Structure 1
Amino acid sequence: MTETSERPIIAIPMGDPAGIGPEITVKALSKGEIYEVCRPIMIGNKEVMNQAIGFAGLDLYLNTVANPSEGKYQHGTIDIIHSDNVDIQKLQVGEVQAMCGQAAFDYIKTSIEFANAGIVDAIATTPINKESLKAANVPYIGHTEMLAGLTGVDDPLTMFEVHSLRIFFLTRHLSLKDAIGQITAKRVYDYLHRCTAALNLLGIDNPKIAVAGLNPHSGEHGLFGREEVDEIEPGVKNACKDGIHAFGPVPADSVFHQALHGKYDAVLSLYHDQGHIAAKMTDFERTISITNGLPFLRTSVDHGTAFDIAGTGIAASVSMEEAIKLAAKYAKQFRAAQKA
């Protein structure tokens, strides 16, 4: 095992107490390999975590600490910074509750404060629920918006990593019609620069980035669709003039396969489902989200609170394990690159 001081400290906010976040976290932290690569610190509620340990049928000890520096970081023990913000008697597992939305926000806020102060090296987040956040009048709809608002970052950059495939997104939560309207030469150019900078922070020098095509066969030079000719190609060419190693547009039916097998270091997907489908068909459970452009590294599972199975003990922890491992993988390089 790596020396304790060399293993990065990864903060794990518990997520929505009524969802599967607590369960998948205790299951992930029951695995010895997690402690071989990092020092995980939970930010959450100890009563809810003990309940999750019961759901999962595990034999784990909760060690309550006031600061990450006090953690034992030993397999079999979960170090937790306790927040007394959940009434366990009123908690309804699998249900939308304002109490849970507020609690989930509190855990993330605390994690961000630790990360901003350099007390933890990265954050690996668990699922939260948009309806619960709304019920609590939390002024953010999801993780990305919280991270942006609480760090002052205008437009965080989302990247998926699954096996050797990395995917960035030019647009996210927009209708397909509105997303197409956002595909401009300037936006493609800007994102290629941002994607390159993000990959540099993760230790990837001179990355090769392919831009996915929008239309079938990338429009066949304007035969069916002008977006590639009028917007995407000019954006790619302008980025290349600046020394960015960009390629495309490359037909979307082949570019993700090519990147998975090493032809490109990353793909810039043009809209939400284009990249999501490619990643999740590669390996649904191991598709992990990285939020770039923040003052710290953040990884996350890419699934929801799964209220329908919360409390049953059957939730799989593979995604949570991968999110923690990926945070540990990149944390040291990310910090070093920021200081350089």
Structure 2
Amino acid sequence: MTRHRGRSPSRKRASSPVNPTLALTAGDPAGIGPEIAVKCLADLEILSTCRLVVVGDADQLHRTASALRISLPQSLQIWDGRSALEGAGPYVLDMGAPAMEVPPGAPSAVSGQAAMTAIKKAVSLAWERKVAGIVTGPISKKALFLAGIGSTGHTEILARLTDSPQVGMMFVTPAFKVVVLSHHVSLRSALELITRDRLAGLIRFAGTEYRRIFREEPRIGVAGLNPHAGEGSLFGEEEEKEIAPAIEKCREEGVDVWGPYPPDTIFVRATRKEFNLVVALYHDQATIPVKASAFGKSAGITLGLPFLRTTVDHGTAFDIAGRGTADPSSLKAAVTLAVQLTSS
């Protein structure tokens, strides 16, 4: 796997004549990624805020637009990824058709490889500062596994491609932001990963990244694990043995962090602005409140990369792929978030 080594200059903002240039990967070609990418390409409000470069199969994107009876902008250009961009765009960086036909609705080795190829190209563009950031469409971990890439997600892939020593996932909703201690592991494994050292490391890391990305001081609330955050160890000892000591250690270091708070109320408190960042202890502890309160309006950010990456709050939705009913709202939210963060 190609990796980009050494410190990249791209933590600095990539220059743009007016609006930031963003690479948008179309995601797994068997899922809804191409459809929602086309819907972004046709959205004049989105195109007025950035120079959008969709990385994917140009023929599939045009076929998708035709099937949906969507008129793509006359200004749409094919870009080779090497020459200087001209005009306001939008653009398609054509990765060519997959080696075999990819029917909608099912993950395959071919679709996984196509998605991975687009990710690598987008990373190269960001690394070379040809784009200010990347926005990723949904991919399938099953398809990546079938392609021999491993059953990992974007976060792990981007960490490997950039040799980033520590990365993390943050979800951004209109009401709150949340980071998560563990990602794509079983719940049983996630529980074993809740240790005071790992949690303290995440609190420090998330606070530093929050300050860098949003340019304000973090005030962090940490969720408990057990009902009522253990209620004095009546319902579990993780809070007393692991979580509270991690919080206390970070407070001694000057971090503005509080908790642990019952996981069923901490997001209410964050919505009321008691905190501007929540630390969740496992994947679904973060994503359930995100999707219940802001599905289609939220987006993800990968922390720790040498460039900005935002993403959708949903998966490939194979069950509706090819039907023309996919909602592009979250992808538009991810583009909008990327524009805000690269323009500030």
Q: Scaled by the length of structure 2, what TM-score is found?
A: 0.90
Conserved 8 A contact 2:312-2:334 = yes
- For 2:274 and 2:18, the matched residues in 1 are separated by 33
Conserved 8 A contact 2:182-2:283 = yes
Given candidates 144, 163, 167, the residue that maps to 1:152 is: 163
Residues 95/210 of structure 1: CA separation in 2 closer, same or farther (3 Å cut)? same
Q: Establish whether residue 202 from structure 1 lines up as the match of residue 217 from structure 2.
A: no
- Secondary structure of 2:206 counterpart: helix
Q: How does 1:21-100 map to 2 (within 5 A)?
A: 21-61=33-73, 62-67=76-81, 69-74=84-89, 78-86=90-98, 90-100=101-111
Conserved 8 A contact 2:178-2:286 = yes
Ranges of 4+ aligned residues in structure 1 off by more than 3 Å: none
**For each residue in 1:87-112, what CA deviation from the matched residue of structure 2 results, as whole angstroms up to 9, or x when unmatched?**
68x23122333222211111100000
Query: How far is the alpha carbon of 1:139 from its aligned partner?
Result: 4.5
Residues 176/98 of structure 1: CA separation in 2 closer, same or farther (3 Å cut)? closer
| Aligned twin of 1:338 | none
**For each residue in 1:288-327, what CA deviation from the matched residue of structure 2 results, as whole angstroms up to 9, or x when unmatched?**
1111101111111121212221111111110110011111
Q: Establish whether residue 17 from structure 1 lines up as the match of residue 17 from structure 2.
A: no
Given candidates 300, 308, 312, the residue that maps to 2:323 is: 312
- For 1:252 and 1:139, the matched residues in 2 are separated by 32
Q: CA RMSD in A?
A: 1.9
Conserved 8 A contact 2:178-2:278 = yes
Residues 216/27 of structure 1: CA separation in 2 closer, same or farther (3 Å cut)? same
| Aligned twin of 2:278 | 267
- For 2:112 and 2:44, the matched residues in 1 are separated by 31
The letter of the residue matching 2:300 is S
Given candidates 251, 258, 266, the residue that maps to 1:240 is: 251
- For 1:308 and 1:164, the matched residues in 2 are separated by 30
Q: How many residues align?
A: 327
Given candidates 125, 137, 140, the residue that maps to 2:136 is: 125
- For 1:128 and 1:98, the matched residues in 2 are separated by 12
Conserved 8 A contact 2:222-2:259 = yes
- For 2:110 and 2:194, the matched residues in 1 are separated by 40
Mark the runs of 5 or more structure 2 residues left unpaired by the alignment: 1-14
The letter of the residue matching 2:339 is A
- Secondary structure of 2:260 counterpart: strand
Query: How far is the alpha carbon of 1:331 from its aligned partner?
Result: 2.0
- Percent sequence identity is 36
| Aligned twin of 1:107 | 118
The letter of the residue matching 2:61 is M
Residues 186/138 of structure 1: CA separation in 2 closer, same or farther (3 Å cut)? closer
**For each residue in 1:138-187, what CA deviation from the matched residue of structure 2 results, as whole angstroms up to 9, or x when unmatched?**
34632122101111124421000111310100112233232222212112
Conserved 8 A contact 2:142-2:151 = no
- For 2:318 and 2:188, the matched residues in 1 are separated by 31
Q: Scaled by the length of structure 1, what TM-score is found?
A: 0.91
Q: Establish whether residue 227 from structure 1 lines up as the match of residue 238 from structure 2.
A: yes
